[in-house]
Amino acid sequence: MNPIQVGLLGIGTVGSGTFSVLKRNQAEIRRRAGRGIEITMVADLDLDRARTLVGPEVKVVNDARAVIANPDIDIVVELIGGYGIARQLVMEAIAAGKHVVTANKALLAVHGTEIFAAAHAKGVMVAFEAAVAGGIPIIKALREGLTANSIQWIAGIINGTTNFILSEMRAKGLDFASVLKEAQRLGYAEADPTFDIEGVDAAHKATIMSAIAFGIPVQFDKAYVEGITALSAQDIRYAEQLGYRIKLLGITKRSIDHKTGAVRGIELRVHPSLVPMKRLIANVEGAMNAVMVHGDAVGTTLYYGKGAGAEPTASAVIADLVDITRLHTADAAQRVPHLAFQPDAMSDLPVLPMSEIITSYYLRLRVADEAGVLAGVTGILAEAGISIDAMLQREADEVGAPDGDAQVAQTDLIILTHDTLEGTMNEVMARMQALPSVLQPIKRIRKEELA
């Protein structure tokens, strides 16, 4: 049987890793796939570099559309990235009857509904294991391994850059800006790290996992996104003293009305979270990724590994190539649906706005060290029906007053709350902030027990 022919669009870090791993493990992959898989055509703007990487046996062009137009190409691998030309090329490949493999989480999070609909109509596959958590096979686990379960929630460390920064801040007691510079020097952070540190990259991945877990359309525009730029070393230190670590989590879950048992909607959010130290995910350090999934039958499962890099991501790309090779001659109706659920059985559950989310909180208030402050703060919480789980008050220190005349005794008051509605907490924080004794903006970090 002739090998499956693959056209590669972009041979950067992941593309070169894919070519290298596929060539190195070709015999093993053939044994698993049932036939050979060969990259026979590459499109890249840097022709000389591409030719150096792939050698004389592979055709190299600078026009991606030439790959799509080639009738001998069975699968197009899109590794260009971004929302623009990548979307056009993927849609053109589908229209040409080509199967597509992509690592482009941004593209799928924003345009996935359109792309999957086009692929379904054309009877081709779009595979995207590499789009979420690099070498961790979380997409296959959600779509196939856990298919017997009603997924209740997913919580993941799905951005290695931010996890590296938070790990270094905790280990060395450094501030965010210092660690970001070090991360850039070591290559863990891009020159422009905005998508990573502001939580956008993690939100793209959480959006895809949410769609697969709950059978809803991809809805990146509904995600709540908050990054790590406002985190301070002192909050990481206080969290440790209370038995928690701070991690940037991508979270999606069914929100249940505890009075009626009905599903209110789906939560989709990315933000820093306090996680109990005893949880395995709290001890995931450096640039590693980890995803926790809770299903009603299986309970909680944890998937851990490298979330980025040439060969870990290539591992996921090639796994998709093998899947398509096995299934491309099968009846399209017998293939695993792109988002796990049959296209005519998708759910219309809404993605809830953040104000309707119920969770618990870490609050840090910089207050004047004077009588009545604690009573005022706890009184506001009590009036809103918010109970306190734990409290920590630091020794007072002397800080110059704004006019430079007097010394004012100040202290940090740290409060952990039980669950409450985010909208209620917003109102409570506004009331506490208005107290004359609260001297700086209140710091809020959400707390996730993950149990």
Specify whether 295 is located in the same domain as 167.
yes
Catalytic residue among 98, 105, 205, 222: 205
| 205 included as an active-site residue | yes
What residues form DSSP beta bridges with 249?
271
Strand pairing class (151-157; 244-256): antiparallel
Specify whether 38 is located in the same domain as 123.
yes
pTM: 0.95
CATH of the domain at 165: 3.30.360.10
Specify whether 294 is located in the same domain as 334.
no
Query: Under a CB-based contact definition with an 8 Å cutoff, are residues 205 and 337 in contact?
Result: no
C-alpha 131: how far from chain center: 10
For 284-317, write each residue's pLDDT tens digit: 999 999 999 999 999 999 999 999 999 999 999 9
In a 10 Å sphere around its CB, with 0-12 CB exposed, 13-18 middle and 19+ buried, how is residue 393 labelled? middle
**What is the spatial distance between Cα 341 and Cα 42, in angstroms, rounded to a whole number?**
33
Specify whether 301 is located in the same domain as 366.
no
What angle is formed at CA 75 by the lines to CA 69 and CA 80, rounded to 5 degrees? 80
SS3 445: strand
How confident is the prediction for the chain on average, in pLDDT? 95
Q: Which residue has the tokens 């856990």?
A: 146
Specify whether 395 is located in the same domain as 338.
no
Specify whether 317 is located in the same domain as 277.
no
Question: CB 68: neighbour CB atoms within 10 A?
Answer: 22
The residues, ordered by sequence, that sit 6+ positions from 255 with a Cβ below 8 Å of its Cβ are: 263, 264, 265, 266, 267, 352, 356, 357, 358
Specify whether 245 is located in the same domain as 326.
no
Specify whether 180 is located in the same domain as 220.
yes
Query: Under a CB-based contact definition with an 8 Å cutoff, are residues 416 and 361 in contact?
Result: yes
How many structural domains comprise the chain?
3
- Given a cut of 70, whether residue 402 has pLDDT beyond it is no
Query: Under a CB-based contact definition with an 8 Å cutoff, are residues 420 and 210 in contact?
Result: no
**What is the spatial distance between Cα 358 and Cα 432, in angstroms, rounded to a whole number?**
20
183 — pLDDT class (breaks 50, 70, 90): very high
Specify whether 286 is located in the same domain as 150.
yes
For 93-151, write each residue's pLDDT tens digit: 999 999 999 999 999 999 999 999 999 999 999 999 999 999 999 999 999 999 999 99
For 337-350, write each residue's pLDDT tens digit: 999 999 999 999 99
Specify whether 255 is located in the same domain as 169.
yes
pLDDT (0 to 100) of residue 330:
78
Q: Which residue has the tokens 């991606």?
A: 64
**388 is in which domain, residue-wise?**
358-447
For 106-116, write each residue's pLDDT tens digit: 999 999 999 99
CATH of the domain at 403: 3.30.70.260
Specify whether 232 is located in the same domain as 118.
no
Of all residues in the chain, the percent with pLDDT exceeding 90 is 92
Buried b vs exposed e over 295-308: b needs ≥16 C-beta within 10 Å?
beeeebeebbbbbb
329 — pLDDT class (breaks 50, 70, 90): confident
In a 10 Å sphere around its CB, with 0-12 CB exposed, 13-18 middle and 19+ buried, how is residue 106 labelled? buried
